[in-house]
Homo-oligomer: A and B are copies of this chain.
């Protein structure tokens, strides 16, 4: 089972509502059936391949999207090319921030991504008419802020080994939000270079730390992407706390 598959719903209806209504961070739980219908008239569903830039300067300013499946990375870059991934978004997160033109974050598909997009004007009208909807977006933003701050602790204070373990734990958690057992299997949604850019490390250091976790039998890796964690608590220990 891979991450993408995990977050796909089996409905084929190309409307925003069906894609996300039952998910906690989705934006549509706040809408009435009528409103969903209205919104879905303007929405378009599409799949983009890994590496596609979803938000640079262009797309974001004209539309918003719900992530149906896949993983999107948000990143910042310095003038000299140094890059930092500042967040990962999983289905059913909302992509594109209201009331902002742009602040220098670019969004790129980390895996193959399916999104349901609709025009900026449509969602902004609905927001102004429906406090409920704004509340939903507010909740997601608060959750993102929490995640950003958690990650600041990781970036600023953890060792390379702890960072890599934290990353694996993050992916395991998001891929299986309600996993109860102590073991998990999943696919890494991104390359070693991306992981390094997320952790503030180099590719080589990420690789070495993964090797160390493998040698210590904390994880198993197949084909560079399939990861299985036999005991989550041992991984958690490695992550610091």
Residues of A within 8 A of B (CB): 74, 76, 78-80, 82-84, 86-87, 97, 99-100, 103, 105, 131, 134-135, 137-139, 141-142, 144-146, 148-153, 155-158, 197, 199-200, 240-241
Q: Within the oligomer, what is the number of copies of this chain?
A: 2
Interchain nearest-CB distance for A65 vs B (Å): 18
Contact of A153 among B76, B100, B156, B158 (CB under 8 A): B76
- Is the Cβ of A150 less than 8 Å from the Cβ of B76? yes
Q: Assuming A82-B157, A151-B152, A152-B151, is B141 touching A141 (CB within 8 A)?
A: yes
- Is the Cβ of A149 less than 8 Å from the Cβ of B78? no
- Is the Cβ of B141 less than 8 Å from the Cβ of A76? no
Which B residue's beta carbon lies closest to that of A77?
B153
| Top 3 A-B residue pairs of the complex, sorted by shortest distance between their CB atoms | A156-B200, A148-B148, A155-B155
A150: chain B residues at CB < 8 Å are 76
Q: Assuming A138-B134, A138-B138, A149-B87, is B99 touching A157 (CB within 8 A)?
A: no
